[in-house]
Amino acid sequence: MKNQTERLNKTIDDIQAKNTALSEKYSTFMNAFRHFKELKRTQVCQEDLVHKLNAGTIEDSIRRAKIELFRSEAIANIKDQQKQELEHEVKKLKLEIANNTKMMEEYGMTTKNHQEQLERCKEEIQRLRKAAMQSQKEISILHREHEAEKQKLIDNFKQKAAEFKEGVRRRFEEMQNS
C-alpha cells in the first residue's frame, strides 16, 4: 500500500511537470503568434511606403497593386493556415492539460483513500498491540497463579508424605513393640 501511494505520488509529480511544460509551450506559441502579427503589420506598412515612393505611373501603380494583392492573399492564406495550426495546437494543449488535471485529481483521491486505509490499519495494529499486551499480562498472572497452586500442591503432598511416613514409623514401632 505504501509502494502504491509512492507510485501515485510520483505519477502526480510527472503529470504536474508535464502540465508545466505544456503551459510553457502554450505561452511560447502565443508569443510567436503575437510576434508574427506585429511583423505582418510592419511588413504591410513598409510595402505601403515603398508603393507610394515608387508609384510614378498609373500602370506601375496598377501592376504593384496586383502584385500586392497576390502577395497579401498569399500572406493571408499562410497567416490563416498558421493561425489554424496554432489554434489547433492550443486546443490540443488545453485538452491535454484538462486530462492531466483530471488524472491528478483521480490520483489525489486514490492517494487520499490509501492514506485513510493506512491510518485505519495503523489504528488496528495499535489496537492489536494493546490486546497482545493485555493477553501477555493475563498469561503472566495465570502463570504466577499456576506456579503458586503447583507449589501449594507440592507442599501439601510433602506434608501428607511426612504424615504418612510418621504413621508408618509409628506402626512399625508398635509392631516391633508388640
Return the number of other C-beta atoms located less than 10 Å from residue 134's C-beta: 10
Which amino acid would we find at residue 35?
H
Domain boundaries, the chain: 2-129
pTM of structure = 0.39
Distance CA 129, CA 109 (A): 30
The answer to whether 8 touches 110, Cβ cutoff 8 Å, is yes
pLDDT at 115: 92
Ordered alpha helix ranges (H), the chain = 2-54, 58-177
Cell of 10: 510520483
Which residue would you say has higher pLDDT here, 62 or 102? Answer: 102
pLDDT in tens, 97-145: 888 889 888 888 988 999 999 999 999 999 999 999 999 999 999 999 9
The answer to whether 104 touches 16, Cβ cutoff 8 Å, is yes
Rounded to an integer, the average pLDDT of 19-43 is: 81
pLDDT in tens, 146-161: 999 999 999 999 999 9
For residue 55, pLDDT beyond 60: no
Range with the largest mean pLDDT of 30-34, 55-59, 106-110: 106-110
Residue among 1, 4, 12 at smallest CA distance from 106: 12
The answer to whether 33 touches 81, Cβ cutoff 8 Å, is no
Rounded to an integer, the average pLDDT of 59-87 is: 77
Residue among 29, 73, 33, 67 at smallest CA distance from 51: 67
Distance CA 129, CA 133 (A): 6
Residue among 43, 76, 41 at smallest CA distance from 51: 43
Degrees, nearest 5: CA angle 29-35-36:
90
